[in-house]
Structure 1
Amino acid sequence: MYFYNDLHEKNFYILNLKFPGGIQYEASNYIAAFPEIFNAINYKDVDYSMSPLFALTSWNEDEERHEFTAAQLTGTTKQMCELGLSLYNGYPSDLDYLFSVVKCEELIRVIFQAMKIRTVTFKEFAL
């Protein structure tokens, strides 16, 4: 399994203990474990019954959807978070825009690893 660095891997295991669930949670936790995203989450106010990525959002009444509003997020990490919520619950994510924003090969590997985690096939082969 690919991790951006050792801290990403450590964060992933921590989040899987705090946010247990199926492959939806694991894929979302994998994105949330990316160090820049992990450090942006305020764990004191997080709702442990859903993806930790929701802690980085606020509800937009006009559009009737969650928007990533955490000041610590960059254009790249915001797009990664949108993908993480998409893998968790079908939150709309624009892959064309995602891949136009994310240029770093290591981050592209993170994105593909998150998608692999979300598939049932990955879980079957990981055993």
Structure 2
Amino acid sequence: MIVHTLIYRFPDDVSPQSRAEFFQDMGSLTLGTGLVRGYDHKPHLWLPADNRARGLTAAAIAQFTCDDLKALETFSELPEVYDFVTTWKEKLRFEAAYANHEVLTPYGEQGAQPSNARRD
């Protein structure tokens, strides 16, 4: 399973309704292709320290999953995906970062070991 994690920041003048429409349309697009197995998005939960952060602080994150890297590659090359990103980026002027990765299991949960842990 491959996870595509997106981190978004929107200008202050983008309304909550516009953001909601963006994420709803993203879900419809991703799941409608048959290449994406799951999709979700959530707002960033602000902390007081976020106001002093030196790096990019997100407004929201989205994730979707694909069976494998080939499925994600095929998805990312679809013309409708390009059109979606182009149209919404022009409309909302968001900034985005993303990462493609395997499913994470945080260390300490369910007996997970860090990926660099020694296995004697």
Q: Which structure shows the higher helix fraction? A: 1
The two structures have a TM-score, normalised by structure 1, of: 0.28
User: TM-score, normalised to structure 2's length?
Assistant: 0.29
Work out which structure has the larger RCO, using CA pairs closer than 8 Å and 6 or more positions apart in sequence.
Answer: 2
Q: Which has the higher strand share?
A: 2
Structure index of larger Rg: 2
